[in-house]
Every structure is written in structure tokens, then in C-alpha cells.
Amino acid sequence: MPPPPTEAVEFVEMAGHIVDSLLLPKVLDAILSRGGRYHIDQFDLGQKQDDPSFARIEVRADTPEALEAILREIHPHGAVPTQPADCRTALADVEGAFPDGFYCSTNFRTQVRLGGEWVDVEDQEMDCGIVVDPEGAAARCVPMASVRKGDRVIVGRTGTRVFPPESETRRHDLFEFMASPVSSERPKAVSVREVAQAMRRTRKAGEKILAVLGPAVVHTGGGELVAKMIRAGYLNVLFAGNALATHDIEQAFYGTSLGVDLDQGLPTDEGHEHHLRTINTIRRLGGIKNAVEKGRLTSGIMYECVTHDVPFVLCGSIRDDGPLPEVVTDVIAAQDEMRRHIPGTGFCLMVATTLHSIAVGNLLPAAVKVACVDINPATVTKLMDRGSTQTVGIVSDAEPFLRALVSELEKS
């Protein structure tokens, strides 16, 4: 069968631990899935486990469009055209939008070719565009809403390359175990130990530990455990919502969380109002920091954040009552506020929150290790679907997990 007259061809290269990291198999699979064909032009297999491999692959497809689709798909797996050229840019012609054909970023380390040099992209974040600075010497990820008219935005894949993490690298990294599958049926003491070790290593490396917490942390009685971790220097930045902060302060004011007495466990109809009265009181006092300074708020997670200079970002959501004065009610402003705190973060602990976990997962570069703890396997799965190489999911219960974690951290 002769090739179709419009058949299109391109050569791509891959290098590194491309076999045991599954990158090469994934690329070959992707070519076949999208109806393409391949021919391995050159293949140097690293014979020992530490040797890198190299492959040059001829990719063919029936039409230039089909080929383009294949190349776009294999690019994030590290397959780059053999003939490098500088990246191409277009000027943004609309505020808050990219030019058509803009390059869409991943959360993997990325380089772009500027003036013949490969340059690391700054502020790596997924689902952004890449803007080149006016001098053409640097490039950084920019979210859509932050684009300004006249920005030089990279279009197409030419002159870009991605460094997907290799599984072998991962293996010797923060987490020694805990592969992808999400299950509640794992030895829990091991998960706790691994997270504690990751937190100690991060602290020792002078990097920040970021906590993303949902209100169930307080409802299940874990507030004091988080407070302990803050006092011990194990939580350095806090991202949460109105609910976490409200129920934490409600506990300080009334001893209840959403009206449930945390000592007796007795729910009361009347207690349901506590969270509203809490918010109202804090609004009357002019905010959480004021409440601490005026001596009205004297315990809990938010109190410890204020007294230990742990910055916090409280992001608004449409289900919020109130909200507390510190809550950033504009969601785009809230994302930007979170972005400001991410540089320098080495580890992120997410507990009992779906919305905030996914939002923060979108912002983190792949190099930041994440442990996501939730009693609902669906939450853990959702997060891991979006960046499996960096996240370990732990299906467990907030308070008992935190209790075990604090006691493990105290051992050291």
C-alpha cells in the first residue's frame, strides 16, 4: 500500500531514563492511538540502570493535521523535534486573553529557546501561557487573566521542551513508597511516618511546608493538633476557606464546631447559629488579626497563625456565610494571593478539602511534593488524576491521621 499522498513526517528525539520511566512506551502508544505510525530510527539503550537512553523516532501520519495532533500530545512526554529552532511568539491583542495558538503550559519543568539558548521558564504552573520578557532573555508562566495587551506570548511548540519527571528519580525522592493506587486498605502507620519524614526533610532543607485544610479538620476535633504543628514550626503557610477559619474560631468562642460540642459530641439545633455569631463577632472586631490583638481570640489554628507569623490565605466560595473580613471574595484575586506564597514551598499537606486541594494542585509546580489526606477516595483520586507523579493520596480520617502525625513528629 503506497503512502497516502498527503502523508506527513517528523523526527523527534527523547533522552534520559525513557524506558524504565515509561516515557518511551507512552510516546509509542500515543502515536498508535492517534492513528500514526512510527519507525525507531536510532535507539541507544542504557545498558546499566544508571545509563541514560536515547531514541530518535520517525513519526508519520496521514495528514499534516494528524501529525500535528500527535506531536502536540507527545511533547509533554519529552519528545522534541530533532531540529531545534527558537520559540515563536505573538503579541497579545486582547486584555486578559492569549493570542490564538498560544502554547499551553504543563506543571513540569520547561525550557524555551531564546536567541539560540535554552532558558528555564519561571513560575512554572499548568494551564498558563508563557510570556517572554521584552529583552527576549527570560520567560515565565502567566495565567490568562493576567495577560496584558502587547505581551509577547509563545505560540506553538517550536523551541519549547518539557522535562517530565522520570519514575526512577521519583523513587529516591521524598516518598519511598505509596504508588499511585488509592486505597483505604494500606498500613496507615507507614503513611504517617512517610509524611512526617517528608516534613522534617523539607524543614531541614529550609523550604516551606504549606497546609491546605478543610473544615472537617476542625469538625473531627483536629484543630488543636494543627495548632501544635504550627507551634512546632511544621506548618509555614496556610491556605483555607471561610469555613475552616470560622469553625476554628467558633471552637475558641463556643467550644463547638458547626454547633457540635467537641467535648461531648452533642449536636444542638441552637449551636447551628454559633458559626454565624462567630463570623458576626469577628466582623464587628474588624477581622481575625484584630480579634487576636484585642485579646478576644486566644486559641486555635487562626490564633496560632497570627501569633507565629504564619501567613494565611482564606479564599471565598459561593457557599460562604459572612464571610470573615480576611476572606478574599474575588476568586481570581485569591488565586493570585496564593501564587505569591508558593515560591519556596517544598512540601504541601492537604487535609479534608476537595475544592481547595484541586485549586492549589493547579497552582503547584510538579517539583513540590504533595500528600493529600481525605476520607473520601474520590477526592484523592481527583487530585492524583491531575499530577500523579507528585502527589500521594492517603485515604484516612482527618483527626486520627493528624493525631498520629503529630505524635510521629514529636518523636524526632
Judged by CB under 8 A, the chain residues 134 through 193 that form the site for a copy of itself are 143-145, 167-168, 171, 176-179, 181-191
Which residues in 301-360 contact a copy of itself (CB under 8 A)?
Answer: 315-323, 329-335, 338, 354-356, 358-359
From start to end of 143-197, where are the E strands?
152-155, 160-163
Residue 45: CB minimum distance to a copy of itself, A: 5
Show the CA angle centred on residue 291, arms to residues 214 and 275, nearest 5°.
45
Examine residue 52 and say whether the peptide bond preceding it is cis (omega within 30 degrees of 0): no
- DSSP structural state of residue 23: H
Burial of 378 (0-12, 13-18, 19+ CB in 10 A): exposed
- DSSP structural state of residue 388: T
DSSP for 187-227, please give it: -HHHHHHHHHHHHHHHHHTT-EEEEEE-THHHHTT-HHHHH
Compare residues 33 and 82 and give the one whose CB is closer to a copy of itself: 33
Q: Which stretch binds a copy of itself (CB under 8 A): 3-11, 36-44, 111-119, 287-295?
A: 36-44
Compare residues 55 and 132 and give the one whose CB is closer to a copy of itself: 55
Q: What's the rounded Cα separation, in Å, for the pair 313 and 327?
A: 7
Q: Does the footprint of a copy of itself cover residue 72 (CB under 8 A)?
A: yes
Helix axes 355-363, 331-341, angle to 10 degrees: 60
Residue 98: CB minimum distance to a copy of itself, A: 5
Which of 66, 104, 119, 367 is close enough to bind a copy of itself by CB under 8 A? 104
Task: Report residue 246 as a C-alpha cell.
Answer: 470560622
Q: Does the footprint of a copy of itself cover residue 263 (CB under 8 A)?
A: yes
Compare residues 322 and 346 and give the one whose CB is closer to a copy of itself: 322
Q: Does the footprint of a copy of itself cover residue 90 (CB under 8 A)?
A: no
Which of 1, 2, 49, 295 is close enough to bind a copy of itself by CB under 8 A? 49
Q: Which stretch binds a copy of itself (CB under 8 A): 78-86, 112-120, 133-141, 252-260?
A: 252-260
Q: Does the footprint of a copy of itself cover residue 399 (CB under 8 A)?
A: yes
Compare residues 6 and 264 and give the one whose CB is closer to a copy of itself: 264
Nearest alpha carbon to residue 389 among 77, 14, 70, 74: 77
Task: Report residue 143 as a C-alpha cell.
Answer: 495565567
Q: Does the footprint of a copy of itself cover residue 290 (CB under 8 A)?
A: no
Q: Which stretch binds a copy of itself (CB under 8 A): 115-123, 202-210, 255-263, 304-312?
A: 255-263
SS3 state at 331: helix
Compare residues 97 and 307 and give the one whose CB is closer to a copy of itself: 97
Show the CA angle centred on residue 166, arms to residues 153 and 212, nearest 5°.
70
Residue 117: CB minimum distance to a copy of itself, A: 26
Residue 412: CB minimum distance to a copy of itself, A: 18
Q: 346: Cβ–Cβ under 8 A, 6 or more apart, which residues?
A: 201, 202, 205, 207, 208, 209, 368, 369
Q: Which stretch binds a copy of itself (CB under 8 A): 4-12, 79-87, 300-308, 400-408?
A: 400-408
In angstroms, what CA-CA distances link 118 with 56, 110, 138, 227? 20, 10, 10, 45
Residue 143: CB minimum distance to a copy of itself, A: 8
Q: Does the footprint of a copy of itself cover residue 287 (CB under 8 A)?
A: no
Q: What's the rounded Cα separation, in Å, for the pair 231 and 300?
A: 11
- What phi, psi does 186 have (nearest 5°)? -120, 155
Which residues in 264-283 contact a copy of itself (CB under 8 A)?
Answer: 264-270, 273, 276-277, 279-281, 283
Q: Does the footprint of a copy of itself cover residue 117 (CB under 8 A)?
A: no
